Chain A
Amino acid sequence: MKIKVNDLRFTYPNGVEALRGISLKIESGEQVAMVGQNGSGKTTLVKHFNGLLRPTSGSVLIGELDTRNKKVTVAKLAQHVGYVFQNPDEQLFSRTVGDEVAFGPRNLGFDSQKAQKLVDEALALVELSDKKDTNPYDLSPTWRKMVALASIISMDTDVAILDEPTTGQDAANVARIAHVVAELKKRGKTVITITHDIDFCAENFERVIALSQGQILLDGPANKVLGREEILAQTYVDPPQLARLGKRLGLKKTVRNQDELLGALKKH
C-alpha cells in the first residue's frame, strides 16, 4: 500500500505550525526511519498516516484513501495502518496478553480461526507465547512494549508504524525488535519508525528521512543520508557510531554496521 504525502502542512490548535510543506512517497514494502530532534515534526507526520491528525492543507493518501475525507475514519485506516505507541501503557487495556493481542483482529472482523492464527503468530514472533494468560501489567514495561508490538502485528496491516520502539529497551530486546522489523519486511509489509536510536536506524532501515522544524532535510538511502554529518547536525542527529568511526579512520563510504566497517578497513 502506497503512501503519498503532498505539500502537507499542519498547525496545532495552539498555533504551533508543526509541519511546513512535506512531500514524500513511500512504496509498498519499504522500511523507512524518520529521524530528527524532539519537536521536528516526526510524530505529527506519522499521525497523519492513520488519520489521528488531518492536514491543515495539502493531502495524505493511504493507497486510494484520502485522509482529508472525513468518511475515511480512523477505524477504516486502522485496517491498513497499525500504530505502536512510544509508551505501551497508552494502548494496553485488556486483562490478558492473549485478549490484548486478539482485540485488533477481532475488531477488524476476521473470523475466529484466522484471528487465532494471527494472534499465535504475533505472540511467537515477540517471544510471548507462554504469557498468553498473563495480565499485561504484571509484565515489565519492556515486555509490555512487546505486547503492544504484537497487538499491532496481529492486525496484519500493510503498514506498521513503530514510534520509538527501542526507547528504554536493553540490548537483548533491541535485537528482538530488529528481528520483528526483518520479519515484517519479509512479509512485504511497510515499516515506518520514528527513532532517536540512530545506530538501530542504520542497522535495520534502508531509507532514512531526516526532519527539521516541520520540513524534510534529507531523504534517501541510509548510507547516503547518515553520512551527511553537517546537515544532520541541523536537526541534532549524530551519525551512527560506526559511521563516525569509519569517517575518522578515513573511509570514503559511510558504513552502516560492523561488517561494513571491518570489511572496508581490510581493504583500506
Chain B
Amino acid sequence: MAIVNLKKVSYKYPLTDSLALNKVDLQVKEGEFVAIIGPNGAGKSTLCYTLAGFVPHFFKGELTGKVEIANKDLALSALNEWVLNVGLVFQNPFNQITGAKYTVYEEIAFGLENLGVPRDEMKKRVDQGLTMTGIRDLADRSPYSLSGGQQQRVALTSILVMQPKVLVLDEPTSQMDPIGTREVFGVIRSLAERGMTVIMAEHKVEWVARFADRVVALYEGRVMMDGKPREVLNSERLLGKGFGISRYTSTAREAVKQGLWPKNRDLPVTLDEAVAGFKGGRK
C-alpha cells in the first residue's frame, strides 16, 4: 500500500511559463527509502516542496494532478494538518533554523511547542531526537555557533521529533563532511528500517547506491527513470544531462574502451563493485 501517491502532478511557479514538474507519477510504499537524483533545475526541490505541501500552499502557482499522502489529499488539506504527516528538511539549515531560540535544545522543541505537545512528552522526544542524531553534546549551544554540518543535524532533529510519517529531505548532506554524511545516511537508513518513509533529493550517487532502496531520476520536471539503484545509477541514459555519475562508473566506462573492464559486466557504482570488476577484467 503506497503511503505517497502522486498522479500526473504538474506545477508552474507564479509568473513563470515553464512547468517545474511535468506529469510526475510517484508511488512510495511505507518504510521505503527513495532517492531523487537529477541535475540542478530538474525539479528535485520543487518535488520536495510539493510533498511537504509548500507547493501550492506557500509558493502558490498552478498545481494540477493529485497529491495524496497517508490517504489525505493535498488540495483538500490545510498546511497545518499536512505537516503532521510530512516533515521537510531543507538543503540549507540557515533556512530552517528559527532564529527565535538560544539553544539547540529549545530549537528542537520549537515545532513541538507549536503543536501543543505536553511538556513531559516534549522533553522525552527531544531527548530521543538528540540521541538519534548524535548531537546530545550540542544541546546547550546556540544554533548559530555551530558548523554547517552540525546545524543540519539540528534541523533534521527538529523535524524528527515531530514524528512525521513521511520524511522529505532536500540534499541534506550538501554542507557536510564525510562523517556528517555517513551519520545522516546512517540515521536515515535506520529510520526507514523502523518504518519511516523517506524521500531524499541527493547528488552523492555513491551514497545513494549504498543506502537507498530505489532511485528516481528527474529531468526537466519529468520522471526519466525509476528503479533499483543499480538499474538507474550506471545507466547510459543519464549521460550528458548533468546527472551526477559515480567516478567508478565513468572510469569503468572509459576502461571498457581500453580493454581494462570486461565488456559484458555491469558498470560499477560503488567501490566494491569497481574493485571486483577491475580484478576480474585483468585476468
Q: Point out residues on A near B: beta carbons under 8 Å.
A: 14, 16, 36-39, 86-87, 140, 142, 164, 167-173, 196, 198-199, 236-238, 240-242, 244-245, 248-249, 258, 261-262, 265-266, 268
Contacts and interface: CB of A to CB of B under 8 A. Distances in A.
B145 to A, nearest CB: 6
A200 to B, nearest CB: 11
Contacts of A14: 145
B91 to A, nearest CB: 6
Given A39-B150, A241-B206, A258-B251, A266 B246 contact: no
A238 B178 contact: yes
B235 interface: no
Contacts of B258: 262, 266
A127 B156 CA distance: 35
A169 B148 contact: no
Contact of B39 (A170, A236, A241): A170
Contacts of A265: 255, 260, 278, 282
Contacts of A241: 206, 246-248, 271
B18 interface: no
B279 interface: yes
Nearest to B281: A265
Interface in B224-272: 242-248, 250-251, 254-255, 258, 260, 271
B39 A171 contact: yes
B180 interface: yes
Given A196-B177, A245-B248, A262 B255 contact: yes
B271 A196 contact: no
8 contacts: A39-B147, A196-B178, A237-B178, A245-B251, A245-B271, A258-B254, A262-B251, A262-B254
Interface in B1-45: 38-41
Contacts of A170: 38-40, 203, 242-244
A215 to B, nearest CB: 17
Contacts of B56: none
Contact of A168 (B91, B242, B255): B91
Nearest to B246: A241
A142 B41 contact: yes
B11 to A, nearest CB: 16
Interface string B166-209: 00000100111111100000000000000000000001001000
A173 B150 contact: no
A38 B184 CA distance: 14
Contact of A236 (B179, B251, B271, B274): B179
Nearest to A236: B179
Contacts of B282: 265, 268
Contacts of A244: 271
A266 B147 CA distance: 43
